[in-house]
Structure 1
Amino acid sequence: MPLCIPHRISISVSQPLWHRNLEPGFLTRLGSTVAGNHRIEYKWIKGVETLQNYQPGGYHPIMIGDLLHDRYHIVDKLGSGGYSTVWLTLDTHLRRYVTLKVNTADSLPRETAVLKHLSASLPPSAAVHPGRALVPVLLDDFDVQGPNGNHTCYTVTPARCNLREISFSRLFPLDVARALAYGLTMAVAYTHSQGYVHGDIHLNNVLVKLPSSFDDLSIAQFYEKYGDPETVPITRCDGEPLPPCIPAKAVIPLFLGKYAEKFSISDAQPLLADFGEAFAPASEIRLGQDCHTPPAFRAPEAKFEPQSPLGYPSDIWSLATAIWEIIGMKAIFSTNIVPEDEITAQQIDVLGPMPSDWWQRWEGRSSFFEEDGCPTESYRENKWAPLEESFEVGVQKWRRKVGDEIREDEKTAFLDLIRRMLAFRPEERLTVDEVLESEWMVGWALPEYKRSQQCAT
């Protein structure tokens, strides 16, 4: 999550994130905070963090104009997740804008340690990995004490948006999509080269960099260009005064981005964010059962080998699903809230038979397939198309409508890459370096990525 919305979110990833387009009269559901021995109920506000998490161990109450750490002036809100709120702030010491992430008091400071490692200074003689610039650089980290506890915080360079919110039901121009796919893969390559598995690759966690001219704006100029922060008073259902553990107003997240179809090649500057699930397999065991990647992007070994350690191949599976979404309109597996077994059935539909030992252990199999592998009568209508047909339905059909169709030679190379990244057995998947060396990456994605870098300078 730096930046725009760099964290895990509690809504369906098939839906766009809320922006400032809310009508008055949207207070319908309830949020709550435990105070003493009773629960305080709040009127629900659409598009903001869960208000019930303003309690001991939860969010830190922040208002526009606050100064944190005697340095960071709160300018606007960029987003929130289950474990943090994220703010655009002005660093009053260096006079530049930074993203400030404020974690819940009960969260573990794992992400800060990972970003410190990825951002560590290099010896003058050391070669710089080309993907280093595609992950957030940790600028500062500190703690803030508040009514809900002690909160770890860090700052990074801000970004304008995440790919999910700008591409939902939209298409990137093909040259832009190729460049974004290559840049994301390069970011993963850098992460792996430093000994880390990202652990949560999907488009909510892929951001787009802001232009460097952003820092030229004063706060007044920023508000003139993007509008004043939009706030909504927080109220209790019983009409009583708010406790000190919650702010007086909720802030609707600011949208700094542009939508996918409006992107030019110079905008294709991705940033892989949210390292809260990252781990170093050489020194830390992360079992499959502890994988928190959303099911649509989660490697199948997490389900079928729950007691086995995850490794770099789990990122490759998730990376393939992200690349597919960047190139097309429809995700390769359902991003709706569906049972996990239904995602497994879709994987078989698209990719073919899974390993026989997994097939035998799959308890939910009978709801979707007969013993001979044929779909059950009840599932037949919902069966997903095989890979090549899925490409036609989820990618090519939509590109054809806008006159941006993928040619047959590129399609062949692309599907070959996706199939090898989505091998069921993790040991049979490509490594990230092999992905970068693949025909599609070298022949189609890399040239556009190079052009994006030239246009951005």
Structure 2
Amino acid sequence: MAEAKTYLNSRFKGEHADDYAAGGFHPVYLGDVLDGRYQVFRKLGKGSQCTVWLARDRSAPTRLFRALKVYSARSSKDMQNPVDSLERMPSHPGEKHVELPFDSFIIQGPRGKHLCTVVEPLGYPIVELEDEAYDKRAENGGGQGEVPGDPWSVVFAKRACRQALLALDYLHKHRIAHRDIAGRNFCFALQYDLSAFDENEVMKSVWPEETKPEEEVGRDQVGISAITTKAKSDELPDSDLESSPDSSDDGKPPSQWKMDWDECERRIADQWDACEPGDATAVPLSDAWNKANFWNSREDIELLQRKDGNPLGPDEIRYTVAPTRLETGFNLGHVTDPERTQTFRLVLTDLGFACPFSECGKRPMPTVVDYMAPESLLGLPDVPGASDIFSLGLWFWEVVMLRGLVVDAGFQQPRGRVLQYLARRLGPVPASLRARWGRPDADRFVDADSGRPLDTPEEDEEEYGDDDFPRGGIWYHARKRRPLDMSDEDMGAFVHLIQQMLRWEPDRRPSTDELLQDKWFSGI
């Protein structure tokens, strides 16, 4: 919005500014109109490749909201999303479970061109519901599944797995590999009509319940405590930032970084004092409403200033906005409600790494190891379709058992350790893969001749304490982690399914067609 760009006229080099500059993200501001029609008024998320914004389509005859994915210049370079040109298959039940763009366009930014895709606004990823259920399970008796009051349900998990499989089947039917299957990339569709609400109502979850009149808001109320800016110079070690800015360890006069910090606080407080709150009751997306939107979101705004105090140039970043997701309308209490469990819809998102089968060996892969297939962990070309199946199998286990099979939630393990855990769960690493696993890393984790996992108890105890997660085979963990309503027969069918999906050899893994016929999904 134009007014925000004029009254925020200085910048201090903050961590988010560094992040945006390094990644080449396009600076988007509240109230901006992209492609002449999409007016931005809320930030929904930020990933490694793009930022996600909620906008109103001003060209639509009735109220219509869309999510805009604005990719960084780095990600946009030579990026061709394969789903943009695929032939739609409305008759395929998986189409509604894939994030397919309604539109796409290019905008020019200070660091290059940026691809923007227009997609359906979605809620939070299923992994957040999994985390909530895991915490609830821990409250009721620890990590084991069979405890009184366990809120998780295998019926819900099975429906979630089948929807995810339908989404992947839809892509594979088009000879497209997703290549980033993970719990964070399955999001809930909204269980309400967003267009039934105006922008004021949509923003209620972001704005404070009560806004003080302008004359009551002073520096003490909206100073540095109300924002997240960190005054950090290039030379300042991270350890220095952890010290209190009100004291000096050696008793000497304040250091330069302390003076910079104080100066940053002063400038930012002055900026907030200079901002007018605007009229929150004004017509949505008017100048007055846009200003109020900015003002009332100030706890999620990071004001940025130049360290030298000079005004910002026209292409410099003025402020960044913290993302706030939309409420989904589906919660943990609905998991065991048969009626509500019937209605949820998962959508497979984040197609930034997707590519045609024919190009899988040429495109870079994500770097997070949690759901990687063995061939990817070893740096070998991912096998079109088969690597997706392996990743999906790992996520199936997680969504049913509420704990990862080989990488525990919150741990980013070395690749060799992940392969070691795979060998514990699935059996020895085959000689064909073992031969391509270079020493000395391989010798730390598996036996050179048999491929069996080596015991590393000192490292396991360091990371997990008394938890037995690093040990035990797949059947042991299935019996320990299964949901309360999962029968022995159902558990056996599920473990068999996972063992097929997690075969070491890519060419032996089942296709999505074969998986959809598996007996574990019978009755769904």
TM-score under structure 2 normalisation?
0.68
1:428 and 2:511 matched: no
Name the structure 2 match of 1:181.
161
Deviation at 1:83, TM superposition (A): 2.0
Q: Residues 256-405 of structure 1: matches in 2 within 5 Å? A: 256-257=326-327, 261-263=332-334, 264-266=340-342, 268-281=344-357, 283-286=358-361, 290-292=364-366, 294-304=368-378, 306=380, 308=381, 310-334=383-407, 335=409, 336-362=411-437, 363=439, 364-371=441-448, 373=452, 375-376=454-455, 378=457, 381=460, 383-393=470-480, 395-396=481-482, 399=483, 404-405=484-485
The alpha-carbon distance between structure 1 residues 56 and 329, as it changes in their structure 2 partners (threshold 3 A), is closer
Aligned equivalents of 1:256, 1:417: Cα separation in 2 = 34
Aligned equivalents of 2:459, 2:323: Cα separation in 1 = 42
Aligned equivalents of 2:113, 2:368: Cα separation in 1 = 29
Deviation at 1:113, TM superposition (A): 3.2
Is the CA contact (8 Å cut-off) linking 2:95 and 2:167 kept in structure 1?
Answer: yes
Q: Deviation digits for residues 5-43 of structure 1, max 9, x if unmatched? A: xxxxxxxxxxxxxxxxxxxxxxxxxxxxxxxxxxx9733
SS at match of 2:73: coil
The alpha-carbon distance between structure 1 residues 166 and 226, as it changes in their structure 2 partners (threshold 3 A), is farther
SS at match of 1:179: helix
Aligned equivalents of 1:55, 1:244: Cα separation in 2 = 15
Q: Residues 67-78 of structure 1: matches in 2 within 5 Å? A: 67-78=33-44
Q: Residues 32-431 of structure 1: matches in 2 within 5 Å? A: 42-44=13-15, 50-55=16-21, 58-94=24-60, 95-108=63-76, 113-118=81-86, 120-121=87-88, 128-170=91-133, 172-224=152-204, 227=207, 229=297, 230-236=299-305, 238=307, 240=309, 241-257=311-327, 261-263=332-334, 264-266=340-342, 268-281=344-357, 283-286=358-361, 290-292=364-366, 294-304=368-378, 306=380, 308=381, 310-334=383-407, 335=409, 336-362=411-437, 363=439, 364-371=441-448, 373=452, 375-376=454-455, 378=457, 381=460, 383-393=470-480, 395-396=481-482, 399=483, 404-431=484-511
Q: Deviation digits for residues 88-142 of structure 1, max 9, x if unmatched? A: 1111111211010111123236776322234x456xxxx7111111112311111
Aligned equivalents of 1:380, 1:369: Cα separation in 2 = 15
SS at match of 1:435: helix
SS at match of 2:29: coil
Aligned equivalents of 2:454, 2:182: Cα separation in 1 = 29
Gap regions ≥5 residues in structure 1: 1-39, 45-49, 447-457
Is the CA contact (8 Å cut-off) linking 2:81 and 2:352 kept in structure 1?
Answer: no
Is the CA contact (8 Å cut-off) linking 1:105 and 1:149 kept in structure 2?
Answer: yes
Is the CA contact (8 Å cut-off) linking 2:76 and 2:113 kept in structure 1?
Answer: no
Partner letter of residue 111 of structure 2? Answer: N
Deviation at 1:204, TM superposition (A): 1.2
Is the CA contact (8 Å cut-off) linking 2:186 and 2:348 kept in structure 1?
Answer: yes
The alpha-carbon distance between structure 1 residues 346 and 138, as it changes in their structure 2 partners (threshold 3 A), is same
Partner letter of residue 202 of structure 1? Answer: A
SS at match of 1:430: coil
Deviation at 1:147, TM superposition (A): 2.4
Deviation at 1:435, TM superposition (A): 0.8
Deviation at 1:312, TM superposition (A): 0.8
Is the CA contact (8 Å cut-off) linking 1:325 and 1:332 kept in structure 2?
Answer: yes
Is the CA contact (8 Å cut-off) linking 2:45 and 2:325 kept in structure 1?
Answer: no
SS at match of 1:199: coil
- After superposition, the CA RMSD in angstroms is 2.7
Is the CA contact (8 Å cut-off) linking 2:81 and 2:351 kept in structure 1?
Answer: no
The alpha-carbon distance between structure 1 residues 187 and 347, as it changes in their structure 2 partners (threshold 3 A), is same
SS at match of 1:70: coil
Partner letter of residue 355 of structure 1? Answer: P
Partner letter of residue 387 of structure 1? Answer: I
Is the CA contact (8 Å cut-off) linking 1:173 and 1:260 kept in structure 2?
Answer: no
Partner letter of residue 320 of structure 1? Answer: G
1:442 and 2:522 matched: yes
Is the CA contact (8 Å cut-off) linking 1:209 and 1:271 kept in structure 2?
Answer: yes
Deviation at 1:324, TM superposition (A): 1.3
SS at match of 2:177: coil
Aligned equivalents of 1:267, 1:249: Cα separation in 2 = 39
**What is the percentage of aligned positions where both structures have the same residue?**
25
Q: Deviation digits for residues 169-219 of structure 1, max 9, x if unmatched? A: 525433222211110000000100011111110011111111351111111
Aligned equivalents of 2:346, 2:442: Cα separation in 1 = 38
SS at match of 2:13: strand
Partner letter of residue 375 of structure 1? Answer: L
The alpha-carbon distance between structure 1 residues 198 and 248, as it changes in their structure 2 partners (threshold 3 A), is same
SS at match of 1:117: coil
TM-score under structure 1 normalisation?
0.77
Aligned equivalents of 1:347, 1:219: Cα separation in 2 = 48
Aligned equivalents of 1:347, 1:357: Cα separation in 2 = 16
Deviation at 1:405, TM superposition (A): 3.3
Partner letter of residue 350 of structure 1? Answer: R
SS at match of 1:410: helix
Larger radius of gyration: 2
How many aligned residue pairs are there? 385
Partner letter of residue 66 of structure 1? Answer: D
Name the structure 1 match of 2:465.
none
Deviation at 1:347, TM superposition (A): 0.5
Is the CA contact (8 Å cut-off) linking 1:176 and 1:268 kept in structure 2?
Answer: no
Larger strand share, 1 or 2: 1
Is the CA contact (8 Å cut-off) linking 1:436 and 1:442 kept in structure 2?
Answer: no
Gap regions ≥5 residues in structure 2: 1-10, 135-151, 208-295, 335-339, 462-469
SS at match of 1:176: helix
Is the CA contact (8 Å cut-off) linking 2:99 and 2:120 kept in structure 1?
Answer: yes
SS at match of 2:491: helix
